[in-house]
Amino acid sequence: MSEIPHHTGGCQCGAVRFRVDGPLGTASICHCRMCQKAFGGFYGPLVNIERDAAVTWTRGEPARYQSSNLVTRGFCAVCGTPLTYESPEEFALAIGAFDHPERIEPVIQYGLESKVPYVDRLPDLPTRTTDMDSETTAFLKSIHSHQHPDHDTEDWPADAHNEDQERPKR
pTM of the model: 0.81
Q: List C-alpha distances in Å: 51 to 66, 68, 92.
A: 22, 23, 11
For CA atoms 89, 94, 98, 100, give the dihedral sign.
positive
Which tens digits make up the pLDDT trace of 118-134? 999 999 999 888 777 66
Domain 6-120 class in CATH: mainly beta
Which tens digits make up the pLDDT trace of 13-67? 999 999 999 999 999 999 999 999 999 999 999 999 988 889 999 999 999 999 9
Give the span between the Cα atoms of 15 and 76, in whole angstroms: 7
Which amino acid is present at 146?
Answer: H
Burial (CB count <10 Å: 0-12, 13-18, 19+), residue 3: exposed
Give the span between the Cα atoms of 77 and 64, in whole angstroms: 9
What local confidence, expressed as pLDDT, does residue 163 receive? Answer: 43
Q: Are 114 and 41 in contact, with CB atoms under 8 Å apart?
A: no
Q: Are 107 and 27 in contact, with CB atoms under 8 Å apart?
A: yes
Give the span between the Cα atoms of 68 and 93, in whole angstroms: 18
**Domain positions in the chain:** 6-120
